Each structure stands twice: as structure tokens, then as C-alpha cells.
Amino acid sequence: MKNPTSLILLASLAAAGCTQSAKDNKQPNIIYILADDLGYGDLSCYGQKNFSTPSIDRIAEKGMLFTQHYTGCTVSAPSRSSLMTGQHTGHTPIRGNKGWKPEGQWPLPAESVTIAELLKTAGYTTGAFGKWGLGFIDTEGDPNAQGFDEFFGYNCQSLAHNYYPYYLWHNHDKIMIPENEGNATGVYAPDMIHEAAMKFIEENRSKPFFLFYPNIIPHAELFAREENMALFRGKFEPEKSFKGVDDGPRYRMGGYGSQPEAHAAFAAMIKHLDDYVGEVLDKITELGLEENTIVIFASDNGPHLEGGADPDYFDSNGPLTGYKRDMYEGGIRTPMLAMWPGNIKAGSRSDHVSAFWDLLPTLAEITGIKNPENIDGISFLPTLLGKKQKNLHEYLYWEFHEQGGKVAVRMGNWKAVRRDIDRTPVGKTELYDLSSDIGEKNNIAVQYPDIVEKMENIMKEAHIASEVFPFSYETK
């Protein structure tokens, strides 16, 4: 249950939304598709040469491609918490992938106000289809308790490593998949989730809806259906083989299955993702919804190195350095595409610096809802509409609670990274000039001690202590 303070806030937001929604124009539908561990260079519209993503590229062709968009964090749960709450990881409640028994991750607290809750105050029907990872069933973080009318998919991000699971969740019901019992591979779970998402669009075509579609591709286990494997088999030599978990207690419980053709499997999985996106775009066109639907495509963090993945082979980061779990650009700068015919100029590009915590205020401005208090995001609606973006971030901030602790700050073209926050000795601050060094190859901290000092002050000021996710925060 939401606490009384949260309920009062949502009621006031609803009142504000009702006033604004008295416009003659119908509220736009909103579709937000989130890939899992897709790198900055993994789409052909961002320069990928090994395979193509024609359906995802259609969003860029019909809308806007962002060159400087950042995730909420460099791993899944905190990144999604940042997205949902409009707060960076120094403030958002979930700052790590901490587990929760019997299943799932640490729950988003009741007092959090999510995008879904805000949109419901403006009359939206809300659905989440894919991977949640922000709270188990019947906890405060349950997607149904955080504003989603319908949820279907994996509650636990660890179980979402596996593409032929024994069950998925539909709201509070565990849906068993008998076709996958034992070691059978009868049902490819992303297909089930996609069908549910498409049904949600069909059923809500006549009213404003928010579809949050956090797909699990291409994370972790490199599994694809045979029809797509056949398209790429033998095309990416030398192949890479991965020996994983094929039996025992971790089989389909988070362990990655073996994959003797990891390169082909990765390309085949991207083909699955691209096909799903194409079907969503075709569906809104078929239903006559395209002109009144905002479609945004993004990724939750940079490419991973797990389960046989080979991001260097595919140049998954393009010009960037680093991977998932890094605070370098490759871990946190990812693709973002947005289309809204008649509002966003087709074929446009933007170098506006934005981050996951900007989505909430952007959607709030689009739908006429008052922002909740204590958010870090800034609406990028002016950028979407081709207008001057007057409000800009003074800085962007990230923290990561694994591998000794890491933080990063971007201020203008300056980027600071600090590692080993929780270790002794504490790591020294690195400094890069992204205007001339997008690959973060040249640490120039010694040359600019005044900038380093500013960045270290931001690191201290941007972090509010969390009892659940404690973080040592020395900077000297």
C-alpha cells in the first residue's frame, strides 16, 4: 500500500492533470521499449556494420536520434529505478542489484512516485511487459503496486537470464510453461511477452495507454530460435563457444546455458528484437494510432561480457570505451530514438545531453501533469519538438555499488570517473574532455586540478546516504 503522504501527492497530481487534460486534443499514447544490455553501436542507425536493424532504424527515420543519451546506471535494477522515479542513483531508492527472498530484487518503496502512477492520474491505462526487477509480488515494489494495471513477464532479473523459463508472472499469478519442463525448449519466452504486449495495444486502442516494454534481449544467455540462427550461422567466423550451466541447481535459475555459436546467436537475438519492434510499429499504423503515439526506444546500460557475448567482435560500443559495470561512456551512454509524427521532425538528430531521469518530467510535460517533488530530471520536450532547450543539466551523476564502488559525473564536456570508492586506498579521480576524447583515452586530471575539485564536490553533494545501499564516500 502507498503511505498517506504518497497518496496525497498522487491526488494532487491527479487534480493538476485533470485541469490540463481538459484540452480538446486527445492525450498521446506512449510506448517505451527498453532493450537489455544493448550497446551504443549495436544498431545500424548508430553505425553497426555486421548486421542490420531496419525496424528499429524506422524510429530514427520517422523521428529523432539522440547521440548523447545516458542510462540511469551501468546495471539493471538501479538503472530502471532511475527511469521510473526521475532520480539519479545518488537519490533513487534502488541503487544496486540486491536480491530479495524468495525471488527478485529489493523492492521500490511505497513512497516512490513512478511514471506509471503519474500517467494514471491523467487517465492512462498502464502495462509493463518484460523484465521488472524492482520488487517481488506483493511487496511495495510489485509492479501492480507501482502504477501498472497489467504486468506480464519476469519479476526477477536473475531468472530473466534464461530464455526458456519454467514460468512467468501475470500480475500476481505464476504462469507455468509446461512446454519448457525439464530441458525442453518449447516456448521462447520473449515471444510470449511480445504477444502479451501486442494484445495490450489492441485492447486499449480506444483510450490513452502507456506501454512499458522492457525486453530481455540481448542480455546474458545467448539463445535464439532456430529460424534466426539459420540466417547467421557461419557468417561470423571465427565463432566463439561458451560452456555454461546445462544441468544442476542453477539450470534455468539464473545460470547461462551453453552456446557453441555465440556470434550467430547474438546477431539472431538482435533480429528477434528488431522484428518485435517492427511488429509494434506496424500495429499502431494498422490501428490508426501512429499519429497520436510517441514511441521511444532505449537500452538499460552498455553491452555485457557474459554468457559468451563478444562486444569487441561486433564493435558494440562504437567509439566508446567500457562495458556494462563500467562508468566509462560505454557502460552508460546508449542509444535513444523517439518518434511522434507531426511533432518530432523525421530524420532529425540531437546532441542534447539527457539521461533516464529526464523521461518522467518529459512525459509529465507532454501530458500536462505536475512533476512530483525531489526529482533530478529535466524535460527534453523542447528538444523533441525542435525548439530551443532552455533548461539544461548543470551535471549528470551516477554511482555503482559493485567492484569496489564507482562514481561518475558529467559537467558540460568534462567527464570525471572515480573507482574503488569502497576500497583502501580510494581511487584517484580521472578526468576526460569528451569534446575531443569521446573514447576516454587521455586522463587529464593533473592538468585541471580546479575542474577535478569541482567534480569531487559534486560527487559528495549528489549522494544522499541510503541504509539499504550503503556507500563509503571519501574523495580525498
Q: What percent of the chain has pLDDT over 90?
A: 92
pTM of the predicted structure, to 2 decimals: 0.94
- Rounded to whole angstroms, the Cα distance separating 67 from 40 reads 9
Specify whether the CB–CB gap between 362 and 344 falls below 8 A.
no
Q: For 335-350, what is the mean pLDDT?
A: 98
338: its cell numbers = 523517439
- 389-417 pLDDT tens trace: 999 999 999 999 999 999 999 999 999 99
With cut-offs at 50, 70 and 90, classify the pLDDT of residue 17. Answer: very low
Q: For 243-251, what is the mean pLDDT?
A: 96
- Taking the C-alpha atoms of 7, 13, 15 and 18 in order, what is their torsion angle to the nearest 10 degrees? -130
- 111-155 pLDDT tens trace: 999 999 999 999 999 999 999 999 999 999 999 999 999 999 999
In the block, residue with C-alpha cell 523521428: 63
**CATH 3.30.1120.10 domain position(s) in the chain:** 397-461
Structure confidence at residue 475 (pLDDT): 53
Cis peptide before 102 (omega within 30 of 0): yes
Residue that wins the pLDDT comparison between 23 and 199: 199
Domain 397-461 has CATH 3.30.1120.10: yes
- 415-456 pLDDT tens trace: 999 999 999 899 999 999 999 999 999 999 999 999 999 999
Structure confidence at residue 15 (pLDDT): 45
**CATH 3.40.720.10 domain position(s) in the chain:** 4-393
Specify whether the CB–CB gap between 337 and 349 falls below 8 A.
no
Q: For 249-269, what is the mean pLDDT?
A: 97
- The 10 Å Cβ neighbour count of residue 247 is 9
Specify whether the CB–CB gap between 155 and 216 falls below 8 A.
no
Distance of alpha carbon 432 from its chain centroid, rounded?
A: 25
Average pLDDT across the chain, whole number:
94
CATH of span 4-393:
3.40.720.10
Structure confidence at residue 26 (pLDDT): 87
438: its cell numbers = 569521446
